Amino acid sequence: MARPVPLPLLLAAVCLVAATAAGGADAAVRKTTAVGVYELRKGDFSVRVTNWGAVIMSVVLPDSRGKLADVVLGYDTVAEYVDSSTYFGALVGRVANRIAKARFVLDGKAYHLYQNDGKNTLHGGHRGFSNVTWTVKEHVGGGDAPYITLYYHSFDGEQGFPGALDVYVTYQLSGPYVLSVHMNATAVGKATPVNLAQHSYWNLGGAGSGDILGNTVQLFASRYTPVDAELIPTGQVAPVAGTPYDLRAPTPVGARVHRVTGGLSKKGATIYGFDINYAVDGDDAHALRRVAVVRDGKSGRSLELWANQPGVQFYTGNFLTADVKGKGGKAYGQYGALCLETQGFPDAVNHPNFPSVIVRPGQVYKHEMVYKFSF
């Protein structure tokens, strides 16, 4: 569980920024470290972002009847994100997902990380990239392709990781009902593992509208990485054929969610649901490939995800509980959303057979995502 930044400090920072970065739809805001909320708008399609954790706070678009709804889980205020361990909408890193026993060896040297998931490291440690203030480099809220670019400098040794890292993310409304995410990171001084992920929770019926068990999901992945009871990969890359993890054809989430295990509760009880990495099909590891399609029959909304990463973590909100209250005070509940986190393979630093996530000094890590919505 992440350690929150003291709330008074955050609230003081928020007060430095006008609500929703007001100043006109086409106004540009350049370089600020004050915490605020920034809107991107293209007709009736809009996205709100905060530079706390590079979080996507809302994604609003119509359904098949023209009714607008926010389709990502989250909170009403930035302050609520600080005191949360859900990772709603955050950009997670330096290394997303789990690292076994919070350690790895790189170039003959052992590195020990912060343990924040039992004895393992999850999403970069207790103060990962989701728990820091990013610098707003540029924000253009309207026009043909509204965007915001955020920057974070991760120092050498942060959370135990070697070398400094310069990280950028750009969120852009790049077309009609298209949200693009461009991430890049440059290693400075030392080689380091880098695996960034966008951790939005999607409910195409609208945040707080109920569970996603009726959604159909199709994953363009014929292999997956099996895990142990702590959700650490075993090192295998196994075919999905003949297993409940086979989602190559459109499949209702509810038809499979109770046939797969997604970890253990704090009391040791089995939690059912998907929380697993898939190996995305395609020969060119750096090419933009279709990853997933999600459809919500009630609203008519669909999401098609493209990315250039070797893996995608499919998570069905197994650990969401009724006491997790979000926007408007709504309780989200178990299976209240799903996540599609494109990524390098989890614990790749400890599995030489997995695609490498090591970035050498001067090299640039690039992660591209494209969300295409329809209704």
Which positions make up the binding site for beta-D-galactose?
97-98, 199-201, 275
Looking at residue 329, the DSSP 8-state letter turns out to be G
Among all chains, which residue has been given the structure tokens 């994953």?
A: 219
Indicate which residue of 123, 199, 351, 367 is catalytic: 199
Q: State how far the Cα of 222 lies from the Cα of 224, in Å rounded to an integer.
A: 7
Among all chains, which residue has been given the structure tokens 């001067």?
A: 362
Q: State how far the Cα of 304 lies from the Cα of 216, in Å rounded to an integer.
A: 12
80 is catalytic: no
C-alpha distances out from residue 150 to 34, 38, 294, Å: 12, 11, 28
The helix (run of H) or strand (run of E) holding residue 49 is strand 45-50
Residues annotated within a binding site:
97-98, 199-201, 275
User: What share of residues in the chain are helix, strand, coil (percent, to 5)?
Assistant: 10, 40, 50
Among all chains, which residue has been given the structure tokens 């630093």?
A: 349
Q: State how far the Cα of 331 lies from the Cα of 104, in Å rounded to an integer.
A: 38
φ, ψ of residue 130 to 5 degrees: the values are -80, -10
Q: Give, rounded to a whole angstrom, the gap between the first and last alpha carbons of the chain.
A: 36
Helices (H), the chain: 7-14, 78-82
φ, ψ of residue 280 to 5 degrees: the values are -70, 135
Which residue in 69, 74, 79, 53 sits closest to 132, CA to CA?
53
Encoded tokens for 17: 């920024």
Q: State how far the Cα of 57 lies from the Cα of 47, in Å rounded to an integer.
A: 7
230 is catalytic: no
The 10 Å Cβ neighbour count of residue 190 is 18
Return the SS3 of 349.
helix
Indicate which residue of 123, 126, 139, 341 is catalytic: 341
By annotation, the residues acting in catalysis are 199, 341
